[in-house]
């Protein structure tokens, strides 16, 4: 069990989250090397600190002027928020630590959380569902249905709280209420963005979690959305994109999931829809194609427990001839549909002995696949594989 962060460490991490943009490789490595208190003291005064660039130091010092982390700590207490650090028991260490590399921003220094669930427990079995903001009815239906069924199966649904697919995913999980849903924001957890989702985010906070790296009151920016995407990917066992155009920001989540070695999945859409073109590109990528998923069982086949959540193969409707032996099929194929045929003629047409025909016909009669007429034997509608067409039960057809 990791030790809890001291009051000074927590205060320093809160301060760093206010004056440094999320995902800074230099700052995260400096904190790992020197500790948060030393890095906070250096940056708020603009002093050299490990590999932190002069420009970043100057920007942090400018933001720190007149700022006191205690103000944020008091604000959090009043608003029912908490700041979870890597030293806290509920921090999902296995998910939220990785070595920063090109194309992948550094892990978070801490997370502001709104909601009663423990973060580590909420993400233990979780799937990210992302996609287009301007989603179609098809996309919102699929995202909502998948999320409801994932929640029913005990999986937390993670998304970004935006319009379109994100909202459909959260609402789908809320409709189940079997498992929590988590909204990872590119702004403060106390900021309603988009504004129209104030009520939705409140519902998520009541039954799930709202999380962000950004300090309370922080507004979103384009860059913060992109950096936020790595958290959606990192907190989940795998990421599904339901609808995405070729320039969709949700594809950035998939790229970060790949860098984190998490499985990526895509739902195919209509080939005529530009909003599914990005999904189709992911499915046919020559390097690391996304896994095609169309139902919850296929998602669980990717992220579920080995042996427990494997998807059973889908089969078409069971037909009356399924499971018959080759010899029985030969006899059936030799029978006419309209006129009756004698046993000797059936044997000749099937290429089997008359004895075989005599042995095969009674069981077929009992199962309703053949019938006896004045002229001999013929197929029933069931035996002919045409259940929608009625044949007379007795006598030859006209």
For residues 299 and 355, membership in a common domain is answered with: no
Note whether residue 90 is domain-resident.
no
State how far the Cα of 134 lies from the Cα of 142, in Å rounded to an integer.
14
Question: CB–CB of 356/347 below 8 Å?
Answer: yes
Nearest to 96 by CA among 305, 302, 264, 260: 260
Q: Report yes or no on 309 lying in a domain.
A: no
**Where does a domain end: 26, 60, 78?**
78
Residue 394 has pLDDT above 70, yes or no: no
Do residue 69 and residue 143 come from a single domain?
Answer: no
Token pair of 126 as six digits: 């979780």
DSSP string covering 137-166 = HHHHHHHHHHHHHHHHTT-EEEE---TTHH
Residues 163 and 234 in one domain: yes
The answer on 346 and 293 residing in a single domain is no
Residue 340 has pLDDT above 80, yes or no: yes
Cβ-contact 184, 256 below 8 angstroms: no
Alpha-carbon torsion angle 327, 330, 334, 337, nearest 10 = 100
Boundary residue ending a domain (247, 272, 303): 303
User: pLDDT tens digit string along 35-90?
Assistant: 999 999 999 999 999 899 999 999 999 999 999 999 999 989 888 999 999 999 99
Q: Output Rg (C-alpha) for the chain, integer angstroms.
A: 31
More confident residue, 8 or 384: 8
Same-domain status, 299 and 330: no
Can you tell me the distance from the alpha carbon of 236 to that of 148, in angstroms, rounded to the nearest whole number?
A: 16
Please give the torsion angle defined by the CA atoms of residues 218, 69, 209 and 24, in that order, rounded to the nearest 10 degrees. 70
- Mean pLDDT of all residues belonging to the chain: 91
Could you tell me if 290 and 156 lie in one domain?
A: yes
At 313 the pLDDT is 65
Q: Is residue 131 part of a domain?
A: yes
In a domain, 320, yes or no: no
Model confidence pLDDT, tens digit, residues 166-197: 999 999 999 998 999 999 999 999 999 999 99
Confidence of residue 161 (pLDDT cuts 50, 70, 90): very high
On whether both 72 and 191 belong to a single domain, the answer is: no
> What pLDDT is attached to residue 289?
96
- Sorting pLDDT into bands at 50, 70 and 90, what band is 311? low
CA distance 225 to 88: 26
pLDDT recorded at residue 392: 36
pLDDT class of 396 with cuts at 50, 70, 90? very low
Residue 116's nearest CA partner among 198, 188, 203, 207 is: 207
Q: Is the per-residue pLDDT at 322 higher than 80?
A: no
Each residue of 250-296: pLDDT tens digit? 999 999 999 999 999 999 999 999 999 999 999 999 989 999 999 99
Which of 198-212, 219-233, 338-352, 382-396 is predicted least confidently?
382-396
Q: How far apart are CA 129 and CA 240, in angstroms?
A: 5
> Is the pLDDT at 303 greater than 80, yes or no?
yes
In a domain, 346, yes or no: yes
CATH, residue 364: 1.10.10.10
Whether 105 is covered by a domain: the verdict is no
111-121 per-position pLDDT tens digit: 999 999 999 99
Q: Which of 131, 133, 158 shows the shortest CA–CA distance to 142?
A: 131
Give the predicted TM-score (pTM) of the model: 0.80
371 occurs within a structural domain: yes
Question: Are 69 and 2 found together in one domain?
Answer: yes
Question: Among residues 303, 335, 368, which one ends one of the domains?
Answer: 303
| Letter string b/e over residues 228-261, b meaning 16 or more CB atoms within 10 A of that residue's CB | bbbbbbbbbbbbbbbbbbeebbbbbbbbbbbbbe
Strands (E), the chain: 81-84, 111-114, 126-130, 156-159, 181-184, 209-212, 239-241, 264-266, 291-292, 370-372, 377-379
Range of the domain at 333: 326-384
| 309 compared with 366, residue with greater pLDDT | 366
Claim to verify: residue 290 and residue 242 sit in the same structural domain: yes
Residue 346 and residue 265 share a domain? no
pLDDT attached to residue 102: 81
Residue at 289 is within a domain: yes
Asked if residue 120 and residue 68 are part of one domain, the reply reads no
Between 4 and 152, residue with greater pLDDT? 152
How much of the chain, in percent, has pLDDT values that exceed 90?
A: 78
User: What was the pLDDT predicted at 398?
Assistant: 28
**Is the separation of the CB atoms in 185 and 192 below 8 Å?**
no
Distance, in Å, from the CA atom of 328 to the CA atom of 346, rounded to the nearest integer, reads 12
Number of folded domains that form the chain: 3
Q: What percent of the chain has pLDDT over 70?
A: 93
**Same domain? 15 vs 117:** no
């Amino acid at each position: 069990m990791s030790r809890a962060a001291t009051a000074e460490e927590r205060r320093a991490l809160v301060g760093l989250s206010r004056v440094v943009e999320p995902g800074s490789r230099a700052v995260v490595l400096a904190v790992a090397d020197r500790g948060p208190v030393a890095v906070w003291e250096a940056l708020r005064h603009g002093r050299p600190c490990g590999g932190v660039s002069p420009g970043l130091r100057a920007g942090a010092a400018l933001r720190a002027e007149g700022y006191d982390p205690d103000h944020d700590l008091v604000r959090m207490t009043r608003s029912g928020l908490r700041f979870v650090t890597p030293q806290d028991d509920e921090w999902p260490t296995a998910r939220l630590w990785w070595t920063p590399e090109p194309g992948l921003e550094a892990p978070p220094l801490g997370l502001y959380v709104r909601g009663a669930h423990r973060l580590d427990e909420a993400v233990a079995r979780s799937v990210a569902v992302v996609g287009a903001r301007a989603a179609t009815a098809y996309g919102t239906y699929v995202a909502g249905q998948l999320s409801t069924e994932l929640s029913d199966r005990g999986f937390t649904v993670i998304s970004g709280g935006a319009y379109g697919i994100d909202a459909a995913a959260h609402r789908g999980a809320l409709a189940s209420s079997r498992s929590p849903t988590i909204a990872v924001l590119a702004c403060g957890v106390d900021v309603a963005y988009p504004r129209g989702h104030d009520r939705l985010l409140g519902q998520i906070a009541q039954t799930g979690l709202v999380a962000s790296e950004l300090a309370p009151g922080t507004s979103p920016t384009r860059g913060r959305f992109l950096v936020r995407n790595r958290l959606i990917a990192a907190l989940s066992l795998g990421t599904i994109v339901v609808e995405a155009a070729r320039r969709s920001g949700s594809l950035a989540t998939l790229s970060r999931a790949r860098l984190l070695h998490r499985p990526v999945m895509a739902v195919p859409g209509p080939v005529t829809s530009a909003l599914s073109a990005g999904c189709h590109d992911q499915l046919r990528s020559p390097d690391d194609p996304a896994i095609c998923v169309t139902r919850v069982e296929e998602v669980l086949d990717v992220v579920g427990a080995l042996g427990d959540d494997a998807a059973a193969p889908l089969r078409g409707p069971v037909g009356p001839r399924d499971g018959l032996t080759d010899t029985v099929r030969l006899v059936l194929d030799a029978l006419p549909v309209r006129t009756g045929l004698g046993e000797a003629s059936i044997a000749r047409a099937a290429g089997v002995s008359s004895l075989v025909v005599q042995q095969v016909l009674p069981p077929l009669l009992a199962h309703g696949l053949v019938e006896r007429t004045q002229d001999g034997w013929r197929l029933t509608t069931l035996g002919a594989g045409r259940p929608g067409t009625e044949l007379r039960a007795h006598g030859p057809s006209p």
